[in-house]
Structure 1
C-alpha cells in the first residue's frame, strides 16, 4: 500500500464503497449509459442557454467568494487525484516496465479505474464553470461550451473503452487543471500574473502529447493485429472506436486552441483581442473564449 492510498483509505475505507462506485460497471455505475450521458449534456446546453436569456436584462452577479471556492476546490482536487494516479502508475511501471505500463491490459488497474471514475465525475462538476460565466454575464464562446460538453463525452468513452494509455492523458490534463484553476482562484481575488499566455501554450502542448500517445497506441494495436511483420513493440489494449474517437476529438481541441492562441497573442496590436484573465478573452466582435 502506498502513502496517498493509505491516507485515502483511512478517510474512506474501501469496503464501505459499493462495487458499482469503486469500479466502472456499464449500466450500473452512475452516468454509465449513453441515454443518461446524452441527456445530461443536453440539459447542460439547454440550461446555459435559458439562464443566459434569463440574465439578459438583469444585472450581473459578482459571486466572487463562491467562484474562488469553486476554483480552489478544482485545483486542489486535481492535485490530489494527480498524486494518487502518479503513485499507482509508478507502482505499475516498476513491475512491468515502460511500454507495458502504457499498453498492457494489466496497466488498467482497479485503482486507476476508480481514479478515472472520479475524474469523469469532475467533468460534470466543471459544468459550473459555464454557469458562473453566464451569471456574471461574461460572453460565451463555442470553444468553451464545446470543450466542456465534449470532454464529458470523452471521459465516458474512454472509461467504456478501457484504453490502457488513459493515465497519460488524464494525468497531463490534471496537471494543467491544477495550474489553471489556481490562476482563476488567484485572479478572482485581484492577483496579476505575467504568465497567462503560457497557460494556453501549456494546453496546446498537452494536446500534442496526448495525440502522440494516442496515435502511438493505435499504431501498435493495428500493426500487431493486422500487419504483424511491421516493426512494433506489441499490442496496445483498449477499444478501437474509443481510441479513434479520442484522436478525432483531441485533434479538434488542438486546432481550436491553436486558433485561439494565434488570434489572441499573435495578431497585430490594432486587431489583437483584449484579454480579461486567462478565463475570458473578449475579441473585437464581443466573443470570448474560455480555456480548459
Structure 2
C-alpha cells in the first residue's frame, strides 16, 4: 500500500509541475486539483443541485444581471482579442517555415499572462449555465452546452500549464472574436422584447461559429504538415476536439434551421409564418435568456396567437404578438 501511495505522490507531483514556475504560482495553476474541483462543482450544480433547488421555486428575474454580465463579456473579449494580436507574433508563426518564434523571458511571461486571462474567461463562462438553472431554462442545458463549457475550461488550463505556445494564441484570437459577436447578441436579447426585432442575424452567428472551427482545424492541419516544433499530443487533441465541435454545432444548425425552412415552406399564411418564425427563434436561441421554458404557456401561446410579429418576452416566459407596423 505504501508503495502505491508513493507512486501516486510522484505522479501527482509531476502533474503539479508545469513548464514555468511563475505560471505554477498563479491563481488556480498550482495543481490540477483546483480546476478539477471547479468543474466538478459546476457539473454538480447545473445537473443536480441547481435544478433540485429551483424545482418548486419561481424562475429568478435576472434581466439586469444578464445585461451587465453580457456587456462585461463583450468588453473582456475585445480586450483579450486586441491584446493577443498586439503581444503575439501570430502572422510570423503562420508564415514561418518551422513556426519558430524566439522570445525573451519577459515576452514569454506576457504570452503566458494572456493565456491565463483566456483560461479565466472560461471560468467566467460557466455562469452561462448557472443563469439557465436559476431561470429554470433546463431545456437549454444540453450535452453540447455542458460539454463545450467543461472541455474549454480543462483544455485552456492544461494548455497554459504544460504547453503554452502559438497554437493557443491563434485559437484564442479566433474564439475571442466570435465571443464578441455572441455575447453582444445575448446582451441585446436580455435587454427586452422591444429589441427582439434586431436579432434577425442569429442564424449567421451560428454560421460564424462553424467557420471558426473550420479555420482552427485548417490551422492545426497546417501546423502538423509543416512539422512545427510543438507538442504532437496537443495538436492531436486540438484536431480531435475541433472535429467534435464541428459535428455537434453542425448537427445543431441542421436540426434548427433546416427544420425551420421546411416549416416556413409548408405554411404560406401570415399567421403560420409568424408562428413558425417564433418557433424557429425559440429552438435556435442558445444564448443567455433567449428561450422561454414553455411554448404554450398563457394566453398568447404559439398556436393561438393573433396575426403579427411574434417576439420573446424574457420576463414571463411567454411568446407574445407584436402588432403589424
TM-score (norm 1): 0.76
1:105 Cα offset (Å): 4.0
- For the residues of structure 2 that align with 1:28 and 1:177, how far apart are their CA atoms? 28
Quickly say closer, same or farther: Cα 1:284–1:185, change in 2 above 3 A: closer
Q: Which of the numbers 215, 240, 248 marks the counterpart of 1:209?
A: 215
Please, which runs of 5 or more residues in structure 2 have no aligned partner?
Answer: 1-19, 267-275, 297-325
- For the residues of structure 2 that align with 1:167 and 1:257, how far apart are their CA atoms? 22
Moved more, 131-140 or 268-277: 268-277
Q: Residue 57 of structure 1 aligns to a residue in which SS?
A: coil
Is this contact kept in 2: 1:102–1:165, CA < 8 A?
no
Tell me the equivalent position of 1:29: 26
1:194-241 CA distance string (max 9 Å, x none) = 1010110000000010011112112222xxxxxxxxxxxxxx233222
Tell me the equivalent position of 2:96: 100
State whether structure 2 residue 42 is matched by structure 1 residue 44. yes
Quickly say closer, same or farther: Cα 1:150–1:130, change in 2 above 3 A: same
Q: Residue 117 of structure 1 aligns to a residue in which SS?
A: helix
Quickly say closer, same or farther: Cα 1:45–1:59, change in 2 above 3 A: same
Please, which runs of 5 or more residues in structure 1 have no aligned partner?
Answer: 1-22, 222-235, 287-292
- For the residues of structure 2 that align with 1:146 and 1:97, how far apart are their CA atoms? 30
1:167 Cα offset (Å): 1.6
1:248 Cα offset (Å): 1.3
Is this contact kept in 1: 2:77–2:179, CA < 8 A?
yes
Tell me the equivalent position of 1:247: 239
Q: Quote the RMSD (CA, aligned, Å).
A: 2.8
TM-score (norm 2): 0.69
Is this contact kept in 2: 1:274–1:281, CA < 8 A?
no
1:170-192 CA distance string (max 9 Å, x none) = 00100111111011111111222
Quickly say closer, same or farther: Cα 1:183–1:168, change in 2 above 3 A: same
Q: Which of the numbers 257, 263, 270 marks the counterpart of 1:269?
A: 263
Quickly say closer, same or farther: Cα 1:198–1:188, change in 2 above 3 A: same
Q: Residue 103 of structure 1 aligns to a residue in which SS?
A: coil
1:238-280 CA distance string (max 9 Å, x none) = 3222221121111111110000000000122189864334515
1:30-80 CA distance string (max 9 Å, x none) = 222222222221111002121111111211011100111111001111001
1:136 Cα offset (Å): 0.6
Tell me the equivalent position of 1:229: none
Greater RCO (CA < 8 Å, at least 6 residues apart): 1
Is this contact kept in 2: 1:218–1:243, CA < 8 A?
yes
Q: Which of the numbers 163, 166, 187 marks the counterpart of 2:165?
A: 163
Is this contact kept in 1: 2:217–2:239, CA < 8 A?
yes
- For the residues of structure 2 that align with 1:198 and 1:53, how far apart are their CA atoms? 35
- For the residues of structure 2 that align with 1:283 and 1:104, how far apart are their CA atoms? 51
Tell me the equivalent position of 2:74: 75
1:106 Cα offset (Å): 2.7
- For the residues of structure 1 that align with 2:112 and 2:77, how far apart are their CA atoms? 16
Q: How many residues align?
A: 247
Is this contact kept in 1: 2:81–2:177, CA < 8 A?
yes
Is this contact kept in 2: 1:68–1:185, CA < 8 A?
yes
